[in-house]
């Protein structure tokens, strides 16, 4: 985790408060939000979140993606790290130095890459002869030319809720399954596009508050499991900081090698 991500994680901990499922520090909204039911509900703005959303929709599942920013794609786009990490090294015998496995060759073999991702890599543009990675690009162009077409192709089964964060989690009677997620969608009010006019850490608490603010109008949404007797809803935590796990009080392990 980078230093910046660590600071944001600390800010999130302060905003979300103790890990108590179904409990929120802010006052409840005046009216109960409409219940939205999906086969698969994915929380998070990571690259994996969008990949999972597209895969679920392509498999036929009615899918919701709760994206905290206005761009899908995570590290590749909204996180501002438009250089794809790739395996490039060779594993060698520590005693003899004899090469054992060319990881780069395996990783770059099209047979080992999902068709969607392989197509994305082939369409990338290198605007500045980047040397950090073989795959470098401008984030806005990548969203517009690569990710949005995928989203549109899956639009009959995929609904993306931009600028939406998870506020709390409600468990079922057993305490072992998620029954519902309460999320907050924000919409800028009277704002002119000036890029990042404020650090995200200054707006973070506002994102998680259901109350309107001078900067954002809010809408509280409730995502629920499918009605009884129908297929069980799958909830996926694809957030950068494991928010769903914490809010659901689920057991988890952390570590740099996990």
Token duo for residue 44: 């998070």
C-alpha dist (Å) from residue 83 to 75, 133, 150: 9, 6, 20
DSSP 8-state symbol, 60: T
For the chain, which residues make up each domain, given as ranges?
A: 11-82+154-247, 83-137
Q: What is the CATH number that goes with domain 11-82+154-247?
A: 3.50.50
**Which of helix, strand or coil describes residue 222?**
strand
pLDDT reported for residue 15: 41
Q: Which residue reads 């597209």 in tokens?
A: 54
What rounded mean pLDDT belongs to the chain? Answer: 81
pLDDT at 22 over 60: no
Q: 67 or 81: whose pLDDT is higher?
A: 67
* Strand 216-224 with 35-37, pairing: parallel
Q: pLDDT class for 208, splitting at 50, 70, 90? A: very high
DSSP lists the bridge partners of residue 236 as 42
pTM as predicted: 0.77
**Which of helix, strand or coil describes residue 144?**
helix
Q: How far apart are CA 236 and CA 193, in angstroms?
A: 32
The per-residue pLDDT for range 98-123, each reduced to its tens digit, is: 989 888 888 778 888 778 777 777 77
Q: 231 or 102: whose pLDDT is higher?
A: 102
Token duo for residue 21: 């499922």
pLDDT at 152 over 80: yes
- Crossing angle of helices 115-122 and 47-58, in 10° steps, is 120
pLDDT at 165 over 50: yes
pLDDT reported for residue 60: 95
């Amino acid at each position: 985790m980078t230093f910046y991500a660590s600071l944001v994680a600390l800010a999130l901990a302060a905003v979300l408060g103790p890990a108590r499922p179904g409990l929120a520090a802010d006052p409840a909204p005046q009216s109960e939000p409409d219940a939205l039911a999906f086969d698969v509900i994915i929380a998070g703005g990571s690259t994996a979140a969008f990949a999972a959303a597209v895969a679920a929709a392509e498999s036929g599942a009615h899918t919701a993606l709760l994206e905290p920013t206005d761009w899908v794609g995570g590290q590749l786009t909204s996180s501002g790290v438009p250089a794809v990490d790739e395996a490039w090294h060779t594993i060698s015998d520590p005693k003899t130095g004899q090469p054992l496995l060319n990881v780069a060759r395996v990783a770059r073999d099209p047979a080992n890459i999902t068709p969607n991702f392989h197509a994305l890599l082939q369409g990338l543009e290198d605007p500045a002869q980047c040397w950090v990675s073989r795959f470098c690009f401008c984030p806005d162009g990548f969203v517009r030319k690569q990710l949005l077409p995928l989203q549109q192709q899956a639009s009959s089964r995929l609904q993306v809720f931009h600028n939406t964060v998870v506020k709390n989690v409600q468990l079922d009677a057993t305490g072992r399954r998620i029954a519902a997620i309460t999320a907050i969608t924000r919409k800028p009010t009277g704002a002119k596009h000036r890029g990042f006019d404020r650090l995200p850490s200054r707006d973070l608490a506002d994102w998680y508050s259901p109350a309107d603010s001078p900067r954002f109008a809010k809408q509280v949404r409730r995502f629920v499991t499918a009605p009884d007797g129908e297929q069980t809803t799958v909830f996926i935590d694809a957030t950068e900081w494991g928010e769903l796990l914490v809010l659901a009080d689920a057991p988890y392990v952390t570590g740099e090698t996990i």
